[in-house]
């Protein structure tokens, strides 16, 4: 099979939507009947995203195989439906680690090992291996960061070498930003022209420019951009801000992107199938009725932007479920620390249709979250707890229903008297030895659902598989006590008898899951538990 590669590179500044553009390109190639895959290359030395704070780098996306990756892999999965695995995520750290390993094993046969070409060669090897493993006809490779940054150079060098070796099989897309200075009120192309020249300095000529900005770029300006950035007529495309990111493939396709790209890759333009996606986007944009969902947690200190990035899969999952039910979600971030300072604020929770507590780590804001859970439990407000949100729901239940006032998790204090949530014994050693990288309980595990429960009804089947990322878990020593007091265990991992789902009877919806259902929700196929939560919230 001849593999084709599309490299997506950022210009001017980061966070302008390279990830969504890469996902959209893959989506469009897939809609043309080609088998696609995606790769994200991150420039940092970290081996994976698992050791990076979410406020620093956004959500840690977890693959089926347990890879802890950049959040862009979530977009790839949501747009294409393809499961992303370890090979779809490359970091500078992985590349150097492998080159040094090979050197120690004499695999360079006595040659001296050089940054160039040995580092780019390893990058190329990894990119090609991923394309082969996924049997992709077209692989979309996104480089993190922005052209001109020092650390992206070796990745650009790898791409340049691939282009030189296979000129007909490679295309370059520069996703660049066009600012609108307030005193002029017009989108300026000059920074993008500079970015395009900086790319030229690395020996790469963009084939397409995706011009991101607040508005549509008009035809004369697109033409001017193509002249100055040296791309073919019609290859400078406008990508304005849109109401929903799922519209981006359609915006590009309105400018005949897929046809032009297939021509550039010397592939036949097969028939296009984007109808369902088009209908879906049209539906989203027509929705009026709002559903008020509150998200209670921490990670709220650094502004809205970082915040939504930290929980992007949760947010998208809520949207998918809401849209399928004909409502649009209105999300409110509720800082749990306000409940610690001012418990009278808890009653504001009554103004929400449903409350979610997402995953998290550490002590900050935890007592506020527990107070919020108590409030929604007692006031019968639909509740969905994800990972930490499930663990804290168990603690709340133990404290206030069972009366075990000292119930807690050993994550906060290893010496607590009533460890409802405790360190998985298999994990204890990792913590003692400070082996933190890629050692949590990660990736997909089976879960058997208990008949007659809300979870079983939502999924409509008995065996499910969900992705995990945690070290602590429900302590089975307290299982009988909590169960006798009314806690329903609705999902269990059959191999290790780990509690995966809890719920309550006599409550419109109170469900906690040890896993992260948000990683498996798809725009046209919402996750069953998010769906059940949204349905309950609508009531």
Residue 516 is among the residues annotated as catalytic for this protein: yes
Residue 137, SS3 per DSSP: coil
User: Which stretches of 289-436 are assigned E, i.e. beta strand?
Assistant: 290-297, 328-335, 354-357, 383-386, 407-409, 418-423
Residue 505, SS3 per DSSP: coil
- Span from 14-22, 169-177, 356-364, 396-404 in contact with ligand GLN (CB under 6 A): 356-364
Residues 4-43 binding ligand GLN (CB under 6 A) are: none
Which CB sits closer to ligand GLN, 85 or 516?
516
Q: Which H/E stretch holds residue 141?
A: strand 138-143
Residue 518 is among the residues annotated as catalytic for this protein: yes
- Span from 119-127, 163-171, 359-367, 398-406 in contact with ligand GLN (CB under 6 A): 359-367
Nearest CA to 527 among 535, 518, 536? Answer: 518
When asked if residue 96 is in the footprint of ligand GLN (CB under 6 A), the reply is no
Marked catalytic residue, from 222, 387, 394, 447: 387
- Span from 105-113, 260-268, 468-476, 487-495 in contact with ligand GLN (CB under 6 A): 468-476
Q: What is the DSSP string of 475-507?
A: -GGGHHHHHHTTEEEEEEETTTTEEEEEEESSS
d(CA 513, CA 390): 5
State which of residues 360, 365, 382, 517 lies at the interface with ligand GLN (CB under 6 A). Answer: 360
Which CB sits closer to ligand GLN, 19 or 360?
360
Which CB sits closer to ligand GLN, 121 or 430?
430
d(CA 354, CA 352): 5
When asked if residue 470 is in the footprint of ligand GLN (CB under 6 A), the reply is yes
Nearest CA to 357 among 324, 325, 323, 333? Answer: 333
- 231-236: long-range contacts at Cβ-Cβ below 8 A with a sequence spacing of 24 or more? 231/205, 231/206, 231/207, 232/207, 234/260, 235/207, 235/208, 235/209, 235/260, 236/208, 236/209, 236/211
State which of residues 40, 126, 456, 471 lies at the interface with ligand GLN (CB under 6 A). Answer: 471
CA dihedral 523, 74, 27, 40 (to 10 degrees): 170
When asked if residue 388 is in the footprint of ligand GLN (CB under 6 A), the reply is yes
When asked if residue 387 is in the footprint of ligand GLN (CB under 6 A), the reply is yes
x/- string (CB under 6 A) for ligand GLN, residues 390-409? -x------------------
Q: Is the peptide bond before 117 cis (omega within 30 degrees of 0)?
A: yes
The least CB distance from residue 391 to ligand GLN, in Å, is: 6
Which CB sits closer to ligand GLN, 40 or 441?
441
DSSP-H helix ranges across 81-189: 92-104, 115-133, 153-165
Please count the residues of the chain: 539
Tokens representing residue 471 in the block = 């070290």
Which CB sits closer to ligand GLN, 11 or 443?
443
State which of residues 76, 177, 280, 472 lies at the interface with ligand GLN (CB under 6 A). Answer: 472
Which CB sits closer to ligand GLN, 34 or 388?
388
Residue where the block lists tokens 């709002």: 290
State which of residues 298, 319, 469, 527 lies at the interface with ligand GLN (CB under 6 A). Answer: 469
- Span from 100-108, 190-198, 448-456, 464-472 in contact with ligand GLN (CB under 6 A): 464-472
Marked catalytic residue, from 157, 500, 518, 527: 518
Size of the residue set binding ligand GLN (CB under 6 A): 11
d(CA 110, CA 455): 59
Instruction: Answer for the pair 285, 498: CB distance below 8 angstroms, yes or no.
Output: no
The least CB distance from residue 385 to ligand GLN, in Å, is: 9
When asked if residue 359 is in the footprint of ligand GLN (CB under 6 A), the reply is yes
Whole-number Cα distances in Å, 84 to 64, 94, 517, 520, 530: 8, 17, 15, 11, 21
When asked if residue 361 is in the footprint of ligand GLN (CB under 6 A), the reply is yes
- Span from 25-33, 279-287, 306-314, 387-395 in contact with ligand GLN (CB under 6 A): 387-395
Which CB sits closer to ligand GLN, 424 or 453?
424
On the 0-12 / 13-18 / 19+ scale of CB atoms within 10 A, 77 is buried
CB 114: neighbour CB atoms within 10 A?
11
- Span from 130-138, 235-243, 273-281, 465-473 in contact with ligand GLN (CB under 6 A): 465-473
Q: What is the separation of C-alpha 167 from the centre of its chain, rounded to a whole number of angstroms?
A: 32
Which CB sits closer to ligand GLN, 38 or 391?
391
The least CB distance from residue 511 to ligand GLN, in Å, is: 15
Which CB sits closer to ligand GLN, 23 or 356?
356
When asked if residue 419 is in the footprint of ligand GLN (CB under 6 A), the reply is no
Q: Which residue is nearest to ligand GLN (CB)?
A: 359
d(CA 377, CA 66): 32
- Span from 29-37, 218-226, 318-326, 383-391 in contact with ligand GLN (CB under 6 A): 383-391
The least CB distance from residue 60 to ligand GLN, in Å, is: 9
Which residues are catalytic, by number? 387, 516, 518
Residues forming contacts to ligand GLN in the complex (CB under 6 A) are 359-361, 387-388, 391, 411, 469-472
């Amino acid at each position: 099979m001849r593999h084709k590669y599309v490299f997506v590179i950022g210009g001017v500044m980061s966070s302008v939507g390279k990830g969504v553009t890469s996902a959209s390109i893959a989506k469009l190639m897939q809609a043309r009947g080609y088998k696609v895959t995606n790769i994200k290359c991150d420039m940092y030395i970290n081996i994976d995203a698992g050791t990076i704070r979410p406020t620093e780098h956004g959500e840690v996306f977890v693959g089926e195989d347990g890879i802890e990756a950049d959040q862009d892999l979530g977009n790839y999965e949501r747009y294409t439906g393809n499961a992303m695995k370890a090979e779809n995520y490359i970091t500078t750290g992985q590349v150097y680690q492998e080159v040094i390993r090979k050197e120690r094993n004499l695999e360079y046969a006595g040659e001296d090992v050089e940054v160039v070409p040995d580092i780019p060669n390893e990058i190329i090897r990894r990119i090609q291996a991923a394309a082969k493993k996924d049997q992709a006809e077209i692989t979309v490779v996104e480089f993190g960061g922005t052209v001109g940054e020092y650390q992206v150079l070796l990745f650009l060098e790898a791409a340049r070498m691939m282009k030189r070796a296979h000129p007909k099989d490679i295309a370059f897309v520069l996703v660049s930003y066009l600012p609108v200075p307030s005193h002029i009120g017009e989108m300026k192309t000059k920074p993008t022209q500079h970015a395009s020249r900086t790319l030229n300095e690395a020996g790469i000529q963009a084939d397409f420019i995706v011009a991101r900005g607040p508005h549509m770029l008009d035809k004369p300006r697109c033409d001017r951009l193509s002249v100055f950035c040296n791309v073919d007529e019609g290859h400078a495309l406008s990508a304005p801000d849109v109401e929903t990111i799922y519209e981006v493939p359609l915006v590009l396709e309105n400018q005949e992107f897929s046809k032009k790209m297939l021509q550039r890759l010397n592939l036949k333009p097969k028939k296009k199938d984007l109808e369902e996606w088009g209908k879906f986007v049209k539906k989203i944009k027509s929705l009026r009725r709002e559903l008020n969902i509150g998200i209670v947690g921490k990670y709220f200190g650094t502004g809205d932007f970082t915040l939504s990035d930290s929980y992007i899969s949760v947010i998208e999952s809520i949207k998918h479920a809401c849209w399928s039910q004909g409502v649009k979600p209105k999300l409110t971030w509720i800082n749990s620390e306000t409940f610690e300072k001012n418990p009278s604020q808890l009653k504001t929770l009554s103004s929400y249709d449903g409350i979610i507590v997402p995953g998290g780590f550490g002590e900050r804001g935890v007592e506020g979250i527990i107070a919020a859970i108590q409030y929604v439990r007692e006031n019968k407000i639909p509740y969905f707890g994800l990972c930490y949100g499930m663990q804290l729901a168990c603690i709340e239940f133990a404290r206030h229903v069972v009366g075990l006032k000292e119930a807690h998790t050993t994550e906060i204090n290893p010496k607590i008297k009533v460890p409802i949530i405790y360190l998985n014994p298999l994990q204890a050693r990792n913590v003692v030895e400070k082996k933190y990288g890629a050692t949590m309980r990660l990736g997909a595990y089976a879960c058997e659902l208990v008949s007659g429960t809300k979870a079983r009804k939502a999924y409509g089947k008995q065996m499910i598989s969900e992705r995990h990322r945690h070290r602590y878990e429900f302590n089975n020593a307290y299982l009988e006590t909590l169960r006798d007091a009314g806690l329903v265990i609705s999902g269990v991992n059959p191999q290790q008898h780990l509690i995966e789902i809890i719920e309550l009877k006599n409550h419109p919806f109170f469900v906690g899951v040890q896993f992260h259902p948000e990683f498996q929700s798809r725009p046209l196929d919402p996750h069953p538990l998010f769906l059940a939560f949204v349905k309950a919230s609508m009531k």
